Amino acid sequence: MRIFFTHLNSLIILVISFFFFITPSTSLDTLTGTQILTTNQTLLSKNQTFVLGFFRGSNTNYYLGIWYNNINPRTIVWVANRDNPVDNSTGHLKIGDNGNFVLLNSSGKPAWSSNQTSAKNPVLQLLDTGNLVLKDSSDKTNNNYLWQSFDYPTDTVLPGMKIGWNLDTGTEKHLTSWKVTGEDPSSGDFTMKLDYHGLPEAFLRKNQTIIFRTGPWNGEGYSGIPAMKNNIDGLKFNFTYDEHSVWYSFSITEPSLLPRIIVTSDTDGEFQRYMWIQGSWNKFWYQPADQCDYYRQCGPYGVCDENASSICKCMQGFRPKNQEAWNLRDGSDGCVRNTVLNCSTDKFLHLEHIKLPETSSVFMNKSMTLDECGSLCKRNCSCTAYANIDIRNGGSGCVMWLGQLIDTRVYSTDGQDLYVRLAAADIGSTSSNKNHRAVLDIGITLSALVLVLGLVAICYLRKKRKQRSIGIVHRNHDWLTNEVVPSRRYLGDERNMDGLELPMFDFDTLMMATNNFSQDNKLGEGGFGSVYRGRLIKGQEIAVKRLSEDSGQGIEEFKNEVKLIVKLQHRNLVRLLGCCIEKDEKILVYEYMKNRSLDSIFGYMSPEYAMDGNFSIKSDVFSFGVMVLEIVTGKKNREFYSENDELNLLGNVWKHWHEGTALSLLDPSIDNLYTEAEVVKCIHIGLLCVQEHAEDRPTMSSVVLMLSSEAPSMPNPKNPGFSTWKKHLQIDSSSNKQDETWSVNQVTITMLDAR
């Protein structure tokens, strides 16, 4: 009989869902009182960013959750019934009789429900923010929510969600990890909770044991998470604290961004921030990130320094409490004072770049200045240290410690100032030392400034005295900005071209210099013409690039090349001396350098720029990618590598990448300074930047995000542009050998050999 009623109940549910069904294809974001949501149906937010539906855990049970639409693998941001799963696929969601919504299991009994409300016509809606809200359909204010999922976070913080306390009602919102990340959504062992006592800060705990402390909010971010800064990567972090509430939240400045902050059970518990970038989740920061992030690593009055050989050290005026353990690099017992305090004569030691000690039991006043705070601390014999609450705009507010200083660390550049009470005898000559160091720093700075100014003056005077070669005249100011090249005008002196100086050579001078463009002087042939070696009357050697009339390069390409080269200033790039536009000629004059110096230039130019003169933000990305690969390998892109000397740098890196041997390209001088993962990441990013088609390359902002992420997940790179091959044409021994060079996108590269 029980089996009969079970099947009958399932049949009734199926019949109801037939008449009152919701399907994904309808893209509805709202569930009404006449509808149910079964385990194979979903709600889709209006902008199609979030989905509400059922998913199965590793235990085969069903859970109601919210996840990102069109992101694989599925990323779940909220779970309704994480500790009360539905046992099989016949469970469903519906609007209840008490102004709430209810999740029913296979027997028709509630497995989970929201709070009861007084709504007469309740509806459930999934918003574009990922917030699931219950409201009265007759309420036209559109923001008077009777219940919302943002009030009941699981393991994830989304933009607009608040974590903290409502002090009037005593209600709290905190994060709890999954039992097993990605498998079991039930409540795990790790929590992230905001402590409102003293100066509020958040604690990551495993059960009741503190793992990590964020430090208090200093106006810009938590003092223990230096990476958390406002208006970085499109995020704005918010913290409010008054007598009614203590809330932490964040918002986005760009609607297309998809960030999330989670607490995970991975690696024994972490607090992590992710951003969706180019098809994958990129981790921007995580805590604890190093040994000094772990709570009370160096005990009371100990300072943790991750950059030191022994990470724990005592503050000045203190010594290890347990010297034997300290020698074994166990600093958990902390430090004790060298000299007993004397309230009337005590002084304060100024420490910089500090993560403030734990602030659960401190005195605080938001309106006091730092001087007032110091004066109050001086008069209070129980005060052990003081600092500003807010470090913005020169600092404001006062926080005073009345007991031991616990869980303190020092950073290289971040953190804030802390003033620690010491006996006068333990302060020593710290102040005079600091003054001496300040004077020394000023002296060094002034000396360096005088030296730089002197070098600039010398270079300027030398440039003024330099005599120009015979035949140099100057061009019309507007020739690069017009559609056609105007007639040449002899102006006598050098003129400024868009803030850059570039002389003009007359055609006859170049004919004389190259012996009438003799084949004997020909150095090589490039994509748009030939390059000749020449010598001016005063003996200066030059390289003359003469564009052929039937070359693919027109006036636009010529202008683009001049614009690019004249703005590039680098010791590894050949210098452009001038140009010639007489008699329908388009000629560039470079300084002559042996050993194929001219292909410095094309090695950094993107294919679309070199070919068609099309320049975009992706052109710079290509150049950046080339430099990244040059830095990692210690090789130049203009040279050729591999066994048969047939691949340039891009082609060689691409070959090794596909063979899984990219690490073999690492510059030996780098040695073990970086991990293999960091090297592979840089090579991967470099190959993404130099992809042949501009639309495949990431933007520079994405590159920065990938470089700053700890473990970015990136797409596979495609063929690089200008992955040049070099073919040696075998000719009889009486003939000269010539190099024929081309690339995968059929753009030739000028190869110059010294005669």
Binding residues for ATP: 545
Q: Cα–Cα distance between 449 and 455 in angstroms, integer?
A: 10
Give which of 533, 532, 535 is closest to 513, Cα–Cα: 535
Q: At what angle do helices 676-689 and 649-659 cross, to 10 degrees?
A: 120
Residue by residue, DSSP assigns 632-691 as: HHT--TTSEETTTT-EEHHHHHHHHHHHT-GGGGS-GGGTTSS-HHHHHHHHHHHHHHTB
Give which of 633, 631, 650, 649 is closest to 641, Cα–Cα: 649
Residue 479 · residue 582 · CB < 8 Å: no
Q: Cα–Cα distance between 115 and 342 in angstroms, integer?
A: 58
Residue 264 · residue 175 · CB < 8 Å: no
Q: Cα–Cα distance between 640 and 726 in angstroms, integer?
A: 8
Residue 751 · residue 596 · CB < 8 Å: yes
Which residue(s) pair with 544 in the sheet? 532, 589
Give which of 77, 405, 494 is closest to 259, Cα–Cα: 77
Give which of 65, 63, 39, 62 is closest to 52, Cα–Cα: 65
Amino acid in position 38: T
Angle made by CA atoms 399, 204, 265, in degrees to the nearest 5: 165
Structure tokens that stand for 83 in this block: 């500790």
Residue 175 · residue 157 · CB < 8 Å: yes
Residue 607 · residue 625 · CB < 8 Å: no
H or E element, residue 352: strand 347-355
Give which of 492, 503, 527, 530 is closest to 514, Cα–Cα: 530
If you ran DSSP here, which 8-state letter would residue 519 be given?
A: G
CB within 8 Å of 436: residues ≥ 6 apart: none
3-state secondary structure 413-452: CCCEEEEEEECHHHHCCHHHHHHHHHHHHHHHHHHHHHHH
Strands (E) located in 494-642? 496-497, 500-501, 504-505, 522-525, 529-535, 541-547, 576-580, 587-591, 640-641
Residue 387 · residue 419 · CB < 8 Å: yes
Length reported for the chain: 755
Residues marked as binding?
545
Strands (E) located in 181-294? 184-195, 201-206, 209-213, 235-241, 245-252, 259-264, 270-277, 280-287
Q: Cα–Cα distance between 271 and 76 in angstroms, integer?
A: 16
Give which of 117, 142, 121, 120 is closest to 46, Cα–Cα: 142
Residue 111 · residue 84 · CB < 8 Å: yes
H or E element, residue 53: strand 50-56
Structure tokens that stand for 654 in this block: 């691409």
